[in-house]
Amino acid sequence: MINSKSIAHYFKLARIVNKCDQRIRELRKAFFSQTMSSYITSNGLEIFSKGFNVEYHVSSLVDYQRRMEKYTEICKFKSKHFNEYLNTLQPDERKYLKKRYMYDPWPEDGCEELHPNEENEWVDKHCLEMISEIEEAVSYRFLGKKPYIDDDSDIDQVSEEEFEEVFDNAFLKMISRLG
Task: Convert the pLDDT of each residue in 157-172 to its tens digit.
Answer: 666 677 777 777 777 7
Task: Convert the pLDDT of each residue in 4-40 to its tens digit.
Answer: 788 889 999 999 999 999 999 999 999 998 888 888 8
CA–CA separation, 48 vs 43, rounded Å? Answer: 8
Q: How many angstroms separate the first and last alpha carbons of the chain?
A: 22
Q: Is 118 a residue whose pLDDT tops 80?
A: no
Q: Is the pTM of this model over 0.85?
A: no
Q: What is the pairing mode between strands 39-42 and 47-50?
A: antiparallel
CA dist 94 → 24, 82, 97, 111, 116 (Å): 33, 12, 5, 15, 16
CA–CA separation, 69 vs 64, rounded Å? Answer: 9
How buried is residue 51: exposed, middle or buried, by Cβ count under 10 Å (0-12/13-18/19+)? exposed
